[in-house]
Amino acid sequence: MRPFLERWWTSSKQFGRTSKPQTANRNGRRPQGRGHATTRGAFLGIIAAGMMLVILIGHIDLSVPWTLTAAAMIATAVGGPLAVPTGLAVGLAVGLVNGIGVAYLRVPSMIFTLGVNAVMRGLMVAHTGGFAPQTAATGLMRLLGAERIASVPVALLVWGAASVAVSTLLNRTTFGKALYLIGNREAAAYLAGIRTRRVVVFAFTLCGLAAALSGVMLAGYATKAYQGMGDAYLLPAIAAVLSDAQIS
């Protein structure tokens, strides 16, 4: 598990260093330095965790940018103690729709998820009128995205927990074994008795959940949601997964 986490950390940290911050903290200043790179790398790492589950079965999720954005916007709009659960529910719902479209309707994942991404973008533009939402992140969202515990960013702790959870899921559960089998050959996995459609739906649902979690945290980091906040994370997330696969 350790080499896996180290490679994932390197890819995500590199993204945090090279990407330009688009947000300000609560004091109106843009975060700088190693802490900024680590925090933004944590957001990418969580997204890549979900993306990896989908890529392992030979698919891809291009709806991540606006799943992330929608989760952040809805969470800040709801506010209060229900903000984070509502944002995560948005990601679960989008992931479930993606999974059903790919597994049961047999639409290629690249086409279906790209269409869902466009639909989510249209819904959020309609929701906000095309302007930046005026609602602010809740205290819990700021805690997850911007605060520190003993000088360690909470976002980094959440990313570490997500990485351990995904690694355990892949290496210690029947679901993880099913992902590898489907990725090798879906027809053979089906003949072996694996309920391939359910596995595909679950993988996409977890990917949506990971994107939503990252969106909620990113909104807390920026103190609010904004249009297109997830666009910068799609290609780096895919690159992080594929680079890890090449090294492996």
What residues does each domain of the chain span?
Answer: 2-9+32-247
Spatial contact of 224 and 115, defined as CB atoms under 8 Å apart: no
The pTM score is 0.86
pLDDT for the residue numbered 22: 46
Q: Which residues contact 182 (CB under 8 A, 6 or more apart)?
A: 56, 57, 58, 189, 194, 196, 199, 200
Angle at 100 between CA 94 and CA 104, to 5 degrees: 165
Closest CA to 35 of 145, 171, 175: 145
Whole-number Å distance between alpha carbons of 167 and 244: 13
Whole-number Å distance between alpha carbons of 246 and 67: 27
Closest CA to 215 of 35, 81, 56, 89: 89
Q: What are phi and psi of 61, to 5 degrees?
A: -120, 105
Q: What is the number of H-type helices and E-type strands within the chain?
A: 11, 2
Whole-number Å distance between alpha carbons of 81 and 156: 22
pLDDT for the residue numbered 245: 58
Whole-number Å distance between alpha carbons of 201 and 6: 29
Whole-number Å distance between alpha carbons of 162 and 94: 20
pLDDT tens sequence for the chain (248 residues) = 444 445 554 555 555 544 444 444 444 444 445 567 888 899 999 999 999 999 999 999 999 999 999 999 999 999 999 999 999 999 999 999 999 999 999 999 999 999 999 999 999 999 888 787 888 999 999 999 999 999 899 999 999 999 999 999 999 999 999 999 999 999 999 999 999 999 999 999 999 999 999 999 999 999 999 999 999 999 999 999 988 655 55
